[in-house]
């Protein structure tokens, strides 16, 4: 992915070519160069660890439900609790990223939720089980810090790719855990010889330790921004410490953030719902054994290896030619098709066809997630974290809502629920048609004449703040985001801002 | 069905008891060969089963003993058990322990039935009183149980049963309390690691603050 703009700013001390904000303009997967690629690897690995911990219980439920004497209602409630904890945590995480930086925000959250995973080992009742799943679920908000970090490290031309890969490979944890936990459990049960009810408890130490180690790695090896950590940048005056209420206000008054929160609820939320119900669906409807049902469930999550990143890459590819309008159209089309496939999935009666449709459905719905986060980095510069948090939180709200409406109790059979969920996906994707950026346009309308990226991003700062020069970073971003006009856009002359070139540190 | 007719032909001059027994067996074999699974309602209560726990008694898994006895029910004609080869005695969930737990559901087709998931003992069949005592295994979950024994024929299909409770599964139910699976060492490790995470976080904040102070 070569975007050879601003090569004058190619600072020799960075391993990758960078733009004026020192964000990388290329994405090299197999490099661990500081700070860009290292940040990428740290973020996807830690997010993967959190996903493994959050979904560590489902594959071991047959053992846990006997040990803790759980009913089907208890299990369902714990599943909903696991994804609902993250709703507000994601918004909080977004705010924390804006104020303290992704490195501290994510390592703090991971260390604060690690005790919930350790304490899962001593859970003794349905209530305790619900509590540990609820608090462990908070760790899913590392998604927000992942996306924020990538948006801080990578330039608009590759941000979709970076976001898609880090989000997708993190989500992989949800599928991998269906294979890892039973393996760890059987090793402990047969090799070490612990009884069933002890073996699962010991097994939980593995994801817990993995999670803790990833937090250490982020703290010691990571860096908030290409130029350094927030603490140092704020001390030297390069970055001003922002005001919480202003950051929050500019996020919640931006209608695009709310629309994306809703639509993300119907791609990512659907993904989480399927993670929770699909094994049971295949087991009950097609009478496969539990082991096979688990493998099918895992394959849904494992598609994230390429499908979500594919969405992100597609977003960047489309943006080169068609800019932001291309990103929005692609998102709408892919998510609509995902909804259609979901509707179809509930109607299919044979096992092979059902698995095939499920796999294609997984690719589309996960690609839609990747495409969403190709748009999110552009909604706001000042409140990037809170917007990312709102969108991410919206994803979890979608999961909770969908499970409560369609997959609880016996009002709908599971196949009816899946079909209705498909209909709901399509309905909730329609609002994308209403997203409009004055400088780039929307799905049906072109850009407003004379409107620039500067106008849009600088509108987040008031006069007093501008006088103090707090808006400098938004200026640079506005410049760099000009690529969102696509190739068809009329080239605009670069206005100089009478500003000193970025200081090298 | 061919088997059925053959039996009819040869029993015209025999005594009453033998043809009845053959009829039952052949019908069951018919069901088996035509591919229908054995259903519970097709089985007769041809075994008498008793268990040591009294009604409502609480037993601890891994600790308490349970003694089961089983034998042929003499009220049935004497040839009924002609093809019984093995007996499996199992711990079965009482209805209250099946409530809201579809993985313990009672289904008439024996292959899909999940009522009796824990085997106590399997023995070759013998009509006279058999007993067996063992400690309740440590992987038995908490719940209310009764004991049921199934008799199997040479093809490993259920051909008869007996249980220590009545037909409605209301009497002689006993409670088993599972082990927690927790150990003191696990508890301590769990709490220590958790405390370590929180302390490490405090350490991170301290380091970050002092880095900030030392910069300028």
**3-class secondary structure per residue, B117-171:** CEEEEEEECCCCCEEEEEECCCCCCCEEEEEEEEEECCCCCEEEEEECCCCCCCC
Residue B69 pairs with which residues in a beta bridge?
A: B50, B131
The per-residue pLDDT for A446 is: 87
A39-74 as b/e: b if 16+ CB within 10 A: bbbbbbbbbbbbbbbbbbbbbbbebbbbbbbbeeeb
A67 and B178 in contact by Cβ < 8 A?
Answer: yes
State the nearest Cα–Cα gap between A35 and chain B, in angstroms: 18
Say if A448 is an interface residue toward chain B (CB within 8 Å).
Answer: no
A236 and B99 in contact by Cβ < 8 A?
Answer: no
What digits encode the pLDDT tens for the residues B194-207?
A: 999 999 999 998 98
Range with the poorest average pLDDT among A303-312, B28-37, B103-112: B28-37
Q: Among B141, B180, B201, whose Cβ lies nearest the Cβ of A111?
A: B201
A236 and B193 in contact by Cβ < 8 A?
Answer: no
What digits encode the pLDDT tens for the residues B37-85?
A: 889 999 999 999 999 999 999 999 999 999 999 999 889 988 888 889 9
Q: What would the mean pLDDT of A249-255 be, rounded to a whole number?
A: 91
In the block, residue with structure tokens 């593995």: A206
> Which residues 4-63 of chain A have a CB within 8 Å of chain B?
62
Inter-helix orientation angle A351-375/A268-286, to 10°: 170
Query: What's the token pair of residue A10?
Result: 């190619």
Q: What would the mean pLDDT of A336-344 be, rounded to a whole number?
A: 96
Query: Whose CA is closest to B175, among B68, B69, B97?
Result: B97
A65 and B216 in contact by Cβ < 8 A?
Answer: no
Taking the CB of residue B214, how many other CB atoms lie within 10 A of it? 9
Say if B5 is an interface residue toward chain A (CB within 8 Å).
Answer: no
Q: What would the mean pLDDT of A34-53 be, rounded to a whole number?
A: 93
The per-residue pLDDT for A276 is: 78
In the block, residue with structure tokens 């660890």: A49
Say if B211 is an interface residue toward chain A (CB within 8 Å).
Answer: yes
Q: What is the mean pLDDT of chain A?
A: 86
Secondary structure (3-state) at B176: strand
What digits encode the pLDDT tens for the residues A129-154?
A: 999 999 999 999 999 999 999 988 99
Query: What's the token pair of residue B47?
Result: 């075994």
Segments in A407-452 forming alpha helices (H):
414-429
B179 and A195 in contact by Cβ < 8 A?
Answer: yes
- Give the side-chain half-sphere CA count within 13 A for A113: 34
What digits encode the pLDDT tens for the residues A84-103?
A: 988 889 888 988 888 889 99
- Please check the confidence at residue A479 and state whether its pLDDT lies above 90: no
Helix (H) or strand (E) holding A146: helix A142-153
Query: What's the token pair of residue A276?
Result: 């929770």
The per-residue pLDDT for B215 is: 55
- Please check the confidence at residue B32 and state whether its pLDDT lies above 50: no
A423-452 as b/e: b if 16+ CB within 10 A: ebbbebbebbeebbbbbbbbeeeebeeeeb
State the nearest Cα–Cα gap between A193 and chain B, in angstroms: 13
Query: Whose CA is closest to A377, among A324, A439, A305, A433?
Result: A324
Say if B193 is an interface residue toward chain A (CB within 8 Å).
Answer: yes
B198 and A112 in contact by Cβ < 8 A?
Answer: yes
Say if B52 is an interface residue toward chain A (CB within 8 Å).
Answer: no
Residue pair A129/A68 in contact (Cβ under 8 Å)? The answer is: yes
Q: Is B148 left (phi over 0), alpha (psi -120 to 50) or beta?
A: beta
Query: Whose CA is closest to B49, among B111, B121, B113, B104?
Result: B121
- Please check the confidence at residue A213 and state whether its pLDDT lies above 70: yes
DSSP 8-state secondary structure symbol assigned to residue A504: P
B201 and A232 in contact by Cβ < 8 A?
Answer: no
Percentage of chain B with pLDDT > 70? 82
Taking the CB of residue A5, how many other CB atoms lie within 10 A of it? 18
Segments in A287-306 forming alpha helices (H):
290-302
- Please check the confidence at residue A449 and state whether its pLDDT lies above 90: no
What digits encode the pLDDT tens for the residues A221-240?
A: 998 888 888 777 777 766 67
DSSP labels for B16-79? SHHHHHHHHHHHHHHHHHTTPPPBGGG----EEEEESSPTT-EEETTT-EEEEEEEE-TTS-TT
What is the phi/psi pair of residue B209, to 5°?
A: -65, -45
Alpha carbons A98 and A223: distance in angstroms, whole number = 14
**pLDDT band with cut points at 50, 70 and 90 for residue B12:** very low
The per-residue pLDDT for B13 is: 43
- Please check the confidence at residue B24 and state whether its pLDDT lies above 70: no
The ipTM (two decimal places) reads 0.79
Query: Whose CA is closest to A115, among B193, B185, B189?
Result: B193
């Amino acid at each position: 992915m070569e975007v050879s703009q601003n090569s004058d700013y190619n600072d020799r001390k960075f391993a990758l070519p960078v733009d004026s904000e020192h964000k990388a303009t290329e994405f090299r997967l197999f490099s661990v160069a500081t700070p860009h690629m290292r940040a990428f690897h740290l973020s996807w690995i830690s997010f993967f660890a959190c996903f493994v911990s959050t979904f560590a219980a489902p594959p071991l439920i047959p053992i846990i439900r006997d040990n803790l004497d759980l009913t089907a209602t208890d299990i369902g409630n714990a599943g909903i609790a696991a994804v609902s904890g993250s709703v507000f945590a994601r918004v909080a995480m977004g705010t924390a990223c804006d104020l303290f930086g992704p490195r501290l925000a994510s390592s703090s959250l991971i260390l604060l939720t690690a005790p919930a995973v350790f304490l899962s080992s001593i859970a003794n009742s349905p209530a305790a089980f619900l509590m540990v799943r609820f608090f462990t679920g908070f760790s899913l908000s590392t998604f927000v810090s992942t996306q924020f970090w990538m948006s801080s490290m990578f330039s608009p031309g590759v941000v979709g790719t970076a976001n898609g890969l880090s989000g997708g490979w993190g989500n992989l944890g949800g599928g991998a855990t269906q294979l890892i936990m039973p393996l760890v459990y059987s090793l402990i049960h047969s090799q070490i010889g612990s009884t069933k009810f002890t073996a699962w408890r010991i097994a939980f130490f593995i994801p817990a330790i993995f999670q803790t180690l990833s937090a250490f790695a982020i703290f010691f090896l990571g860096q908030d921004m290409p130029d350094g950590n927030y603490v140092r940048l704020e001390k030297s005056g390069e970055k001003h410490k922002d005001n919480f209420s202003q950051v929050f206000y500019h996020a919640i008054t931006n209608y695009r953030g709310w629309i994306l929160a809703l639509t993300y609820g119907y791609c990512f939320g659907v993904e989480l719902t399927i993670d929770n119900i699909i094994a049971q669906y295949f087991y009950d409807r097609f009478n496969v054994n539990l082991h096979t049902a688990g493998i099918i469930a895992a394959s849904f999550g494992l598609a994230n290896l390429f499908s979500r990143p594919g969405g992100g890459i597609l977003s960047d590819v489309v943006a080169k030619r068609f800019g932001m309008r291309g990103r929005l159209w692609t998102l709408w089309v892919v998510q609509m098709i995902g909804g259609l496939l979901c509707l179809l999935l509930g109607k299919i009666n044979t096992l092979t066809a059902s698995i095939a449709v499920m796999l294609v459905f997984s690719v589309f719905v996960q690609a839609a997630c990747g495409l969403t986060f190709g748009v999110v980095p552009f909604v706001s510069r000042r409140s990037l974290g809170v917007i990312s948090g709102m969108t991410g939180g919206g994803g979890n709200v979608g999961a909770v809502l969908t499970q409560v409406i369609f997959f609880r109790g016996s009002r709908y059979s599971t196949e009816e629920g899946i079909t209705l969920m498909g209909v709901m996906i399509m309905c909730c994707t329609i609002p994308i048609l209403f997203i409009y950026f004055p400088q780039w346009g929307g799905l049906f309308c072109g850009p407003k004449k004379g409107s620039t990226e500067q106008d849009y991003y600088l509108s987040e700062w008031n006069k007093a703040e501008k006088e103090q020069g707090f808006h400098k970073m938004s200026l640079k971003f506005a410049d760099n985001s000009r690529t969102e006009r696509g190739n068809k856009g009329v080239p605009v002359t670069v206005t100089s801002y009478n500003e000193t070139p970025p200081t090298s540190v | 069905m061919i088997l059925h007719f053959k039996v009819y032909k040869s029993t015209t001059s025999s005594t009453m008891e033998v043809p009845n027994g053959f009829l039952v067996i052949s019908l069951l074999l018919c069901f088996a060969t035509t591919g229908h699974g054995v259903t519970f309602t097709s089985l007769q209560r041809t075994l008498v089963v008793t268990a040591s726990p009294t009604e409502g008694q609480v037993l601890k898994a891994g600790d308490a003993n349970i003694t089961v006895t089983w034998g042929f029910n003499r009220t049935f004609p004497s040839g009924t058990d002609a093809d019984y080869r093995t007996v499996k005695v199992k711990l079965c969930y009482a209805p209250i322990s099946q409530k809201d737990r579809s993985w313990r559901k009672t289904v008439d087709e024996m292959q899909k039935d999940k009522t009796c998931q824990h085997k106590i003992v399997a023995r070759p069949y013998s009509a006279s009183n058999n007993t067996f005592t063992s400690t309740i295994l440590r992987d038995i979950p908490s719940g209310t149980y009764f004991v049921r024994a199934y008799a199997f024929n040479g093809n490993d299909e259920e051909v008869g049963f007996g249980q220590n409770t009545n037909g409605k599964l209301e009497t002689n139910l006993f409670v088993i309390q599972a082990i927690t699976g927790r150990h003191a060492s696990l508890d301590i490790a769990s709490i220590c690691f958790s405390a370590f995470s929180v302390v490490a976080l405090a350490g991170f904040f301290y380091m970050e603050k002092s880095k900030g102070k030392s910069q300028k």
